[in-house]
Structure 1
Amino acid sequence: MEPRTVRDDASRAGTAPTGAGEHPPPLNLVYLAGILVAAGLAVGAVWTLRRSALPVVLSLVAPAILLALPLLFGLPQVVAVVWALLAGGALVLGSALLGRWTGAVPVVSGTLTLVTGLVWALPERYTTLAAVLMLAATALVCAIGARRFSADGTRHEPGGRAATLFMGGILLWALALVVGVAFLLGNRGADGTVQAHWWLLTAAALLSGATALTLGRVLPPAPSGSGGDVRSDPRRLFGVVGLALLPSAPLLALPGNAPAPPLLPATVPLSAPSHALWAPAHVVLGVPAQAGLLATLGVLVAGALVAGLVAVIDRHRFPAGAALVAPPTLVPLPVLLGAPFLVAVVWTALVGAALFLWTHRLRSSLAWLPGVSGLATMLLALGWALPQQYAALVVLVLLALTALVSARLRHRLDPRVPDSPNGSCTG
């Protein structure tokens, strides 16, 4: 067999080697040497002229060097993406080591490096979700750092470490949120997605919600002017957004190849026969057969993590967080386990009743939220029960009992409520 002839780059280009036995150096090493020489000249010039600006120059030069390494050495896409994300995260978090105002430069350069890694990750679902997770995790660490550096309860100085980390946390959190929502809208129900994709997106939702709650505990930077400028306080807005994001985690943990249980079944009201009470809930509700124990465990774990995060980060908002996360965590359980239709309807009504009655035990400004959440859950149970008349009657009875118990609790907790219409009259 004739041996294969291997030609170098010079012969491919139509040029002859310069001499016998001489091989030109690989171009990747030439390019890398050029990058290192240019970076060294820039750093040397700053070191000679103005050493105080050296951290700023290093934070600007580092992305050009670090991002070039995986490309010049032909590393796999996954390695290049992870390398870019780690480099960008290190730059953003390293801003806490710099002085006032100079920390904003590594935040911007690190964010752009993370965006580069995100763009490299877009062709594949797993790498895209890994990039979203890295963005959300870095944003959470920035928010925790900003809260730590402003733990004295006073507004931090503009350009300081707390303000820099606060800015970096907001930038990365918003970017992770936008990319995560785009992934959800573009891939929910699409071919090629697996349950692992939705568990990764669930983790990203948990991190994003925790970041928003943590940002809601950080005082914004003080006004930079000397006048009486009063800057609006965004903490309440971040807290509301965090509470709205966290309950989505149990819903994202549901099987990705089937829709969530509908608000109203497709069956004609009161037309289902009596034996439909004992049919599987997903059959009567008109949704595909769900996975069993594994999907149920995933939803429960997601709900428990949400409750734990709210309790650790902002315990004052725990009643609101529990009221929002309980329905998406508990309501799908009978459907996931293939329980009978009557069991699913009664379970949903009982979850709503428990939330509605819990309102009387709360004394916070958000005590109304469990009541609204519980009422909406009971109305959902009534909507599910409409295809079968006996199921609808059972839910109506439960609604009436809940109203009766709520009235008795209100009377017991508020003695000013009279026992009879004439009880408020005086002699």
Structure 2
Amino acid sequence: MRMYDIIEKKRDGGALSDAEIGFFVDGYTSGRIPDYQASALLMAIYLRGMTPEETRLLTMHMMNSGDVMDLSSIPGATVDKHSTGGVGDKTSLAVVPMLAAMDPGHTFVAKMTGRGLGHTGGTVDKLESIPGFDTALTDDAFLSCVREHGASIIGQTGNLVPADKLIYALRDVTATVSCIPLIASSIMSKKLAAGSGCILLDVKVGSGAFMKTVPEAIELAQAMVEIGEGMGRRVKALITNMDRPLGRNIGNALEVAEVIETLQRRGPADLTHEAIMLASDLLELTGRFDHNEAEARARRVVEDGSALAKLKEIVAAQGGDVRVIDDPSLLPQASLHETLCAPCTGFVAHIDTERVGVASAELGGGRLTLNDEIDHSCGITLLKNYGDPVECGEPIAVAHANDASKLTCGLATLAGAYTYGPKEPPVEPLLYASVTAAGVAYA
């Protein structure tokens, strides 16, 4: 079997066999297949697509490219949550401690997460802005943390889905990110290998997401739900709005600080609402509580401070400096700050959210190439978001950087992300639909 023939077959629209997909995944993971051939196949898949069976096979081979986590030692329901990626989407950092506090001793969060991809941020990058926080725990340490503290968040290790780690990085720099079969197989191979019995998928849609339309997002959600349910897991997907940044802060340390504010009941309304919605739905998915009780528990752990205490407990358990929870100013701070002002009076009629994410990366807060290093202190603070009124000359955002040239570049990109209008734009929902094995329910 030759990689050349596999590339040619997919280029011409053919469906790849189990053996061909296995040959690619195993060969690329082991280093026998070079980047340029893997890139060619990824582009062919991006252009030609994959059948549901091909997507399932790709997922299975990726999942089995390394270790598969055994969570049988966890004495309760195991849950996991994944977002397809958005700008300012730091919900996992809030939802994980919320869930651990909502049903202690019975519901456990064993979460494996990733780094930034394209214009979107990654949970691992955000956590690593906390001094000392270890996202590379051994399997035994990970399971011990979950059992003892109710939750743990780790990065994708070399032994867990190594095929995805390699393919994920290559997609980031070959313009093959926004492809439904590749996204579905990437996400579900990690979720299945991580071993949790209940999986909630937050599928973002809009200008700041890989899925630009609701039908596209639903198609991706259905593909992932079908894969997960076929593997005996309880899976639900929510289609949520990413046509505007979530919350006020974009950038790793900035987003950690905003999560702390949210768990202190001082966070932005949209982030608070979405965190409660996600935590409620995931707890409901375990079958232990109905929706009303799950939502009541989500609200209670924020109001009584137990979710914040759980976050501090998890940070301490994974070697992080817990002082940042009480004093977020101890997180990395940028040395340069510049304010963007409104050029006219009116309303923020639209925000090109992807462009905001690119601006944050240009400031130093993300990766523009495979080998870029992230500066955890860089990013953007939004003072005005979609629908807000503005006066000419009024500050609408602040850019944070440590390099003057990057500050100039990022600020120019950020300025181009805003569109203004004379009238207040219509209110947009945060939730469009939910997808389960039973079908699609529109909000």
Shared topology, TM-score over 0.5? no
1 or 2, which has the higher helix percentage?
A: 1
Q: Normalising to structure 2: TM-score of the pair?
A: 0.29
1 or 2, which has the higher strand percentage?
A: 2
